[in-house]
Amino acid sequence: MIAPTDDIDRIMTVMQAAFDPAFGEAWNRRQVEDALLVGNCHYRIAEVIDEPAGFTLSRYGFEEEELLLIAVAPQFRRRGIGEQLLRYCKADAKMRGARQLLLEMRSDNLAIHLYQQNGFIEIGLRKNYYRTPAGNRLDSITFACIL
């Protein structure tokens, strides 16, 4: 999916506000542009009164979609925007032919509550999968949601 520059700007505005730098999870602009150039990556942007509030970035593979990133800017959190973005991502993925939506999550991320309440089940644990910029190792949980 080719993204207009304006949309990349919106995604990057949320990206820079949403991710804690301690974990090094935010993507830079080049990474987002490259992912969207490939053609099997897709995005959704949520706006509140013309202000970018959140986004998802996902990748479709054979009968599977992977949610690569979901983020909501801090000032817009706990209003259901994350849930709504997930709903759209599931519906879009299903339309593309995906049977399940997968995601990887740092095991101590509070986003776990969002996933558990929205039909995701834990299907795997990778010990020491993430390395933070400070050099700490963190486990990763793989979640799946049947579509």
Ligand X SMILES: CC(C)(COP(=O)(O)OP(=O)(O)OC[C@H]1O[C@@H](n2cnc3c(N)ncnc32)[C@H](O)[C@@H]1OP(=O)(O)O)[C@@H](O)C(=O)NCCC(=O)NCCS
Residues identified as active-site:
104, 115
Chain centroid, CA 21 distance in Å: 16
Question: Quick one: which segment of 35-43, 57-65, 80-88, 122-130 binds ligand X (CB under 6 A)?
Answer: 80-88
By CB under 6 A, tell whether 108 contacts ligand X: no
Q: Report yes or no: 66 and 42 within 8 Å, Cβ to Cβ.
A: no
Considering beta carbons, is residue 39 or 48 the nearer one to ligand X? 48
Question: Quick one: which segment of 1-9, 27-35, 103-111, 124-132 binds ligand X (CB under 6 A)?
Answer: 103-111
Q: Report yes or no: 12 and 34 within 8 Å, Cβ to Cβ.
A: no
Tell the smallest beta-carbon distance from residue 11 to ligand X (Å): 12
70, 93, 98, 141: which one binds ligand X (CB under 6 A) = 70
By CB under 6 A, tell whether 57 contacts ligand X: no
C-beta neighbour count of 113 within 10 angstroms: 9
Q: Report yes or no: 36 and 2 within 8 Å, Cβ to Cβ.
A: yes
Tell the smallest beta-carbon distance from residue 122 to ligand X (Å): 13
Residue 41 in tokens = 């990556």
C-beta neighbour count of 23 within 10 angstroms: 17
Considering beta carbons, is residue 18 or 32 the nearer one to ligand X? 18
3, 11, 12, 18: which one binds ligand X (CB under 6 A) = 18
Backbone angles phi, psi at 113, to 5 degrees: -65, -40
Instruction: Report d(CA 58, CA 39) in Å as an integer.
Output: 11
By CB under 6 A, tell whether 30 contacts ligand X: no
Binding site for ligand X (CB under 6 A): 18-19, 70-72, 77-83, 105, 109-111, 113-114, 117
